[in-house]
Chains A and B, each alone.
Chain A
Amino acid sequence: MNKIEFLQELQEIMMLDNPLIDSVELDSLVEYDSMTRLSLLGLFEDELGKKIEPEDLVKLKTVGDLVLLGGLE
């Protein structure tokens, strides 16, 4: 999975109408909730080969931080 595919998947998980970019702050997305974070746990491990814990996702600030955590930058 590359960065574009990851961002598309993230958009789909959160059911957003508009594409996401790195600078979007996660706090500004009401859809970045526990349901989204749970889906990301599976996505990171299965598609990106990164085993992450729930607390790893809570401390991130932006969409770009998610991309970095996934090793996609």
Chain B
Amino acid sequence: MATAIINNVGIDGIVTVVPPKRQFFDEDAKRLGISSGLAKRISKSVGLYERRVVSPEVTALDLGEAACRDLLNGLDKDKSEIGFIIFVTQTSDHPQPCNATILHGRLELDTEVGALDVNLGCSGYVYGLYLAATMIKSLEKDVLLIVGDTLSRQVNSMDRSAGILFGDGASATLLTFKANECMYFDLCSDGTGYESIIVPAGGARMPSSEKTGISEEDNEGNFRALDDLKMVGGEVFNFAVRTEPAAIKKLLEFANISIEDVDMFFFHQANKYILQTIAKRLSLPSSKVPDKIITKYGNQSSASIPCTINEIIGSNEKPLLSVLSGFGVGLSWGSALCNLNLTYCPSPITWRKG
């Protein structure tokens, strides 16, 4: 997509919710028979230490609902001001109906409120922001954006590449009319790389069956079934570190903003080494590029950018000119430039199903 500017919109608040269970990397390493030497190298390079994972009865929808309730409460927002809800997820409760409509019912929103899901992962937060921002002007209402996944349940626990990486979580973001504010976007896709990150079975192309549930060992000793998420690490690395620097430069050029004038760069927390490589290629100081969220929460898919914002900045702080940028499954990547001047932005909340 060409770059775009959307005027008179901004983010009012963000809440991220994570489950209470902490899964430690040293436990993962033991389970997978990873030597202590390799475990040290993985931990240092990727930045793994612990991640939050759901219990089987909790879904992204549950986490998203908890995030919405806290956000609306924290902003003291009347539900009648919401015109649309968007749920970005790849781990919805059912193939049909979509999460957004179920959440609509749980939140008891008015029937005049539209609801839809977006099937995207690590780029999904920025795509969701774009969709929400475009709706603000036409609806003259606030838009509630929910992003989140439970990818810890989509991977094979005996897969050394994906099985140690993902943490669960969901975020709710409220976008609203803000005079004199604007958001810049750059959204891109490369469908020729769709097999780099994929769950092969479970859709119409290859329905799940007894056969697709059988784990098989690959040539690197990873066990994976066709029902499990597969990620080709080297391809994803090259994709991320080649597309991201160019995309950020393109966005800032479009906005006529110097890279030095940006206060913070909130990248999708894929992997510490990837973020450091992107930062190096853009000559960014490490103080402007948070890269330790994965250490605490794991790779949280679409929720990792808002979780990083919740972890790094608080409510009612001075506005920060920020780049938000995600990249991943699709292949898909998106970047936004906006002022973060949040009325409500608590630290990530640990939520227990009551």
Contacts and interface: CB of A to CB of B under 8 A. Distances in A.
A15 B238 CA distance: 23
Counting chain A residues whose Cβ lies within 8 A of the other chain, the interface size class is 10 to 19
Interface string A22-36: 000000001101111
Contact of B42 (A35, A45, A54): A35
B242 to A, nearest CB: 8
A20 interface: no
Given A31-B37, A46-B280, A37 B273 contact: no
Contacts of A54: 232-235, 238
A33 B160 CA distance: 12
B273 A34 contact: no
B41 to A, nearest CB: 6
Counting chain B residues whose Cβ lies within 8 A of the other chain, the interface size class is 20 to 34
A71 B149 CA distance: 43
A42 B220 contact: no
Given A42-B277, A46-B277, A37 B234 contact: yes
Contact of A39 (B40, B45, B161, B281): B45
Contacts of A53: 234, 238
A31 B38 contact: yes
B280 to A, nearest CB: 7
Contacts of A42: 237, 241, 273, 277
Between A13, A14, A31, A42, the greatest number of chain B beta carbons within 10 A of the residue's beta carbon is seen for A42
A57 to B, nearest CB: 8
Between A15, A31, A38, the greatest number of chain B beta carbons within 10 A of the residue's beta carbon is seen for A38
Contacts of B41: 13-15, 31, 35-36
A35 B44 CA distance: 11
A69 interface: no
A9 B142 CA distance: 52
Contacts of B237: 38, 41-42
Interface string B232-265: 1111011001000000000000000000000000
Contacts of A41: 234, 237-238, 241
Interface of B: 35, 37-38, 40-42, 45-46, 161, 220, 232-235, 237-238, 241, 273, 277, 280-281
Interface of A: 13-15, 30-31, 33-39, 41-42, 45-46, 53-54, 57
11 contacts: A13-B41, A15-B37, A15-B40, A15-B41, A33-B38, A35-B45, A36-B41, A38-B45, A39-B273, A41-B234, A42-B241
Give 9 nearest A-B pairs by CB, closest first: A54-B234, A42-B277, A38-B237, A41-B237, A15-B41, A38-B233, A35-B41, A34-B233, A38-B234
